[in-house]
Amino acid sequence: MCDMTKEVLKEACKEMKLYGTPSLNDKLYCHYKGYRRIQNLEEYTGLKVIWLEGNGLSKIEGLEQQTKLRTLYLQENLIEKIENLGSQTILDSLNLSQNCVTRIENLGHMPRLQTLQLKNNSLKTADDVRGLLEVPSISTLDIQHNKIEDVEVFDVLEQMPELRVLYLQGNDVVKKVKWYRKSTICRLKSLRYLDDRPVFDDERMRAEAWMQGWNESGTVDAARESEKRELDRQRAEKKAKEEANFKAFDAMVKRGREEAARRAEETAHLGQEHFNIFSGEQIVPCRESDAGRETRERLWGKTVNDDSLGVRGQPAPPMTKEEKEERERIREACETVGNGAFSKSELEYKKKYEQARENARQRVKDMCGGKASTEAQKAALSDVKPTSSDFGIFNQSFVESVKKEEPVVEPQVDEQQEDEQQADGSAGGMVGWGDLKKAANPPVPPPPGKKNNTAADTRKNNAPAAADVDVRVEVGTDMDELD
């Protein structure tokens, strides 16, 4: 046994890793310390919960400054009376189990009290528990293993409107009440848990049917028959509900299949590009607003360094270093996004396709020779499709169109080999004007004593003029005709 001194309380806070300043603590552990009195708690004004069980306390005292208490544990002590709790107006839970309390009293000032535990005390009569009516907010009451023998205790419990959980087993009154569980459930309409198991709705209906049969005939057989009819009704209702659920589920599956078939039939003519490749849902077409398109193009123009996109006749303001870095980051991250309407690879295919269409149109015009009528040219152009050599791949499915092209690796050609190839002049059956000129006028060798040491000098002596490089003629062409 020891006293609850300030030094002892501070040491307890230190051991439990609490605050050294008493007013900052919202909890305090003082259980199983052997304290004889509750004292020296004046500085602990912020406490919301305090553990005081397992001591030698014989009286509730010293809690006048603990006005914020929500939970108070006082079980396993020697307390005989509920008193000195006037400051605890917002108390939610009070545990006084395994004490010597003989009467429930002095709790009327606690409108928020919901849990009251008085297990293993000395309650005997209905008057000892009548103080519960002063606290109508109590929803959980534990008065099991007391000495209650008075059957009128049920009259008190029946007047508690919020009582949900009741522990009454271990009292002699349980043995005095016939059909204890059924009668208790019927009398306490809001009860949801009694002693060792919950109270479900079907059990309540069976108990009420049993009690109705008993009240009508006064015999146990009639009460049991009434309960049996209620049980059969519940089983039939449960079975009907299960069958209704099965039928509803089957109807839902049928409707889903019909809806899926209808959608498949409606979208059978659409290509794969009209569906989301991940979810399979149809892509709903929508018209983009002018403002949205302008904003998208402006943002894309910043990404691809094209300031003309999305700007109405006004150049974009110069960007800062941070904006340039952000633009470069976005460009790298959006490498396959394209201009917002097409991906990068899709845009390249589109350009190739348009070029192929233009080549096909030009061939038709050349075939017509400009003599055919406009209607005939249009009719011919409407049937023109680009060949595979014209890169007409853009008409394929969406998945094929977005396949990433394999990078073209150009062979590394040595500079000397390049000079030799230019000297040969036979690449693909085409020769340049400069090549013919070289063939007619071979290069003059360097004078004796001077060596052409570098490949750059060789290229300088043998290189054709810049204007000659672009001219290509077929092999066998008469030079007089060119002149």
Average pLDDT over residues 373-386: 55
Q: Any idea which residue has 């003082």 for tokens?
A: 30
Predicted confidence (pLDDT) per residue in 212-260, tens digit: 999 888 888 999 999 999 999 999 999 999 999 999 999 999 999 999 8
The residues, any chain, with a CB within 8 Å of residue 151's CB and separated by 6 or more, are 173, 176, 177
Q: Which residue has the tokens 């019927």?
A: 186
Contact 205, 229 (CB under 8 A): no
- Per DSSP, the three-state class of 403 is coil
373 or 467, greater pLDDT: 373
* CA atoms in the 13 A half-sphere facing the CB of 430: 7
Residue for token pair 């270093």: 321
- DSSP letter, residue 316: P
DSSP bridge pairs for 335: none
What's the pLDDT score for residue 326?
Answer: 74
pLDDT tens, position by position, 53-89: 999 999 999 999 999 999 999 999 999 999 999 999 9
* pLDDT band per the 50, 70, 90 thresholds, residue 340: low
Task: State the DSSP string of 298-318.
Answer: HHHHHHTT-TTTT-SS-PPPP
Q: Is the pLDDT of residue 481 over 50?
A: no
Distance CA 26, CA 360 (A): 86
Alpha carbon separation from 327 to 143, 292, 333 (Å, rounded): 74, 20, 10
Q: What is the pLDDT of residue 88?
A: 94
Residue at token pair 């390049």? 418
Please report, for residues 16, 363, 427, the alpha-carbon distance to residue 385 in angstroms, rounded to integers and kept in the order given: 86, 11, 31
Closest CA to 301 of 333, 335, 340: 340
Backbone angles phi, psi at 325, to 5 degrees: -65, -40
The Cα–Cα gap between 360 and 366 comes to: 10
User: Distances in Å between the alpha carbon of 154 and those of 6, 102, 196, 334?
Assistant: 46, 18, 18, 76
Query: Quick check: 46 and 63 in contact, CB under 8 A?
Result: no
Q: Measure the CA angle with vertex 26, ends 21 and 31; round to 5°.
A: 95
What's the CA gap between 78 and 357, in Å, rounded?
102
Distances (CA, A) of 274 to 217, 280, 286: 76, 9, 12
Enter the DSSP assignment of 2: B
Please indicate whether residue 86 or residue 354 has the higher confidence score (pLDDT).
Answer: 86
Average pLDDT of the chain, as a whole number: 77
* Alpha carbon separation from 339 to 256, 274, 287, 294 (Å, rounded): 39, 19, 17, 12
372: which DSSP letter?
Answer: S
| Whether residue 25 has pLDDT greater than 80 | yes
Q: What is the rounded CA–CA span in Å between residue 28 and residue 43? A: 12
Does the pLDDT value for residue 482 go beyond 70? Answer: no
The pairing of beta strand 27-29 with beta strand 115-117:
unpaired
- This prediction has a pTM of 0.56
DSSP 465: P
Residue 289 in this model has a pLDDT that exceeds 70: no
Residue whose token pair is 């060798």: 445
Encode 160-187: b = buried (16+ Cβ within 10 Å), e = exposed.
Answer: beebbbbbbeebebeeebeebbbbbbbe
Burial class (CB in 10 A: 0-12, 13-18, 19+), 442: exposed
